[in-house]
Structure 1
């Protein structure tokens, strides 16, 4: 995924499924200057981490 798409998903009103290594995650924030996103596991909001946006995959 690219930074622009991650920002679009973050701003979207509808739920867009995103995965990190095959596991569903929510995007909490995007830092465009560093091309990273803060995400958390859908089932465990306390499990947040910083990842590169390239690691994220939109599920269609």
Structure 2
């Protein structure tokens, strides 16, 4: 995933396909920061990085 840095050090994760229908017709959505809208199934979703797992 790639992203563009916002002024506050956060980056927007860019999805390659819709997690619901698998189509690639995605556009940023105004609902909230990080929201994406699918033009095919009309769902709006967000992505969030939880963290990186470190094996012990």
TM more than 0.5: no
Q: Normalization by structure 2: what TM-score? A: 0.37
Q: Normalization by structure 1: what TM-score? A: 0.35
Higher relative contact order (CA 8 A, sep 6+): 1
Q: Please identify which structure carries the higher strand content.
A: 1
